């Protein structure tokens, strides 16, 4: 795998979003919008992929965990 600055920036942004989710309480519209964006991004990745393989599925599962676990923890409180 080659080093890509854009990939690194994307990972940093994802971690930053996860940090913000843990710090501030999301209201229902914000959480639903975040979930909707995640679904749209997953759709774009799945449609544009040359073939769907294990690493792609694993990446989608991990990204889903990064999105849904903080939302679930906040709604559970």
The residue to which tokens 């990745």 are assigned: 45
* Domain boundary assignment for the chain: 5-76
Span 20-59, pLDDT tens digits: 555 667 788 888 998 999 999 999 999 998 888 988 899 9
The residue to which tokens 């449609």 are assigned: 47
51-75 burial string, b = 16+ CB within 10 Å, else e?
A: eeeeeeeeebeeeeeebeebbeeee
Span 51-77, pLDDT tens digits: 889 888 999 999 999 989 888 887 776
What does the pLDDT read at residue 9?
55
- Rounded to two decimals, the pTM is 0.64
Q: Which two tokens stand for residue 69?
A: 């676990």
């Amino acid at each position: 795998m080659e080093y890509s600055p854009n990939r690194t920036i994307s990972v940093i942004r994802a971690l930053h979003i996860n940090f913000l989710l843990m710090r501030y309480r999301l209201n229902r519209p914000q959480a639903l919008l975040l979930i909707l964006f995640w679904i749209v991004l997953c759709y774009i990745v799945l449609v544009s992929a040359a073939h769907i393989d294990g690493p792609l599925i694993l990446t989608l599962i991990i990204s889903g965990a990064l999105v849904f676990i903080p939302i679930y923890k906040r709604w559970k409180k």
